[in-house]
Amino acid sequence: MKLWLIRHGQTPSNVLGLLDTAVPGPGLTDLGVEQAASIPGALGDQSLAAVFASSQTRAQLTAAPLAAQRNLPVQVRSGLREVSAGDWEMRGDKDSVRGYLGAIGRWFAGDLEHRLPGGETGREVLERYDAVIDEVQAVGGDAAVISHGAIIRFWATMRSSNLPRAFGAANVVHNTGIVELESEGTGWTTLTWAGTAIGGLALDDPGTDGPGGDAFEMRSALPQN
């Protein structure tokens, strides 16, 4: 099966550069609505058996046009929500954003037990996302999953057999960017990684896609000799 992981459309918090990860979270900006509306046409005649979205409002609003065009329900799952900002929730200052990106960067570097202050460990994030993807696979057929920038990059990188960890840490996914994967037995292979808006450059605004669209700094927790 093929799996399309699609980041949600632009939100007001993205524009302000805020770490806005709580449920239900904000809706979409006017540009975000346009980005969401472009998804059905961009996917063309790709077959879909299911459309899933996170429990956050922006993901469900982004999924709605695609689900309506394919006459499918939007199946909402909490496990697809964004990596929690914990103690940095709703902050946009440089130190908070750097702390969030650095904590996730430690997960990319292999320290999955590191706990983001007031939030989750990398292992906990992978496990909750895994549980939903298992359910998606059980449906049978190709599926679209509308989720969030940081968690898409983290999960896709860690679960793809053909991606080095540094790839997902460095390569961003803008609003409505898409990562296409294909199942290979019990694992996954990444086929394409389109970091810009799926509707094309006219709908892409990388300066206003929030901290989830920034690169992660891979930092090892091991002492340096």
Instruction: Summarize pLDDT for 117-146 with one digit per residue, the tens.
Output: 999 999 999 999 999 999 999 999 999 999
Which pLDDT does position 186 carry in this prediction?
A: 77
Residue 89 lies in a domain: yes
Domains in the chain, number: 1
Residue 57 lies in a domain: yes
Residue among 82, 114, 148, 174 flagged as catalytic? 82
Residue among 8, 114, 148, 174 flagged as catalytic? 8
Domain range for 17 is 2-212
Please give the Cα distance from 131 to 53 (Å, whole number). 14
Residue 223 lies in a domain: no
CATH of the domain at 39: 3.40.50.1240
Burial of 198 (0-12, 13-18, 19+ CB in 10 A): buried
pTM (predicted TM-score) = 0.95
**Which of 89, 82, 99 has the alpha carbon at shortest distance from 153?**
82
Kindly report, residue by residue over 93-122, the tens digit of the pLDDT. Answer: 999 999 999 999 999 999 999 999 999 999
Active site residue 82: yes
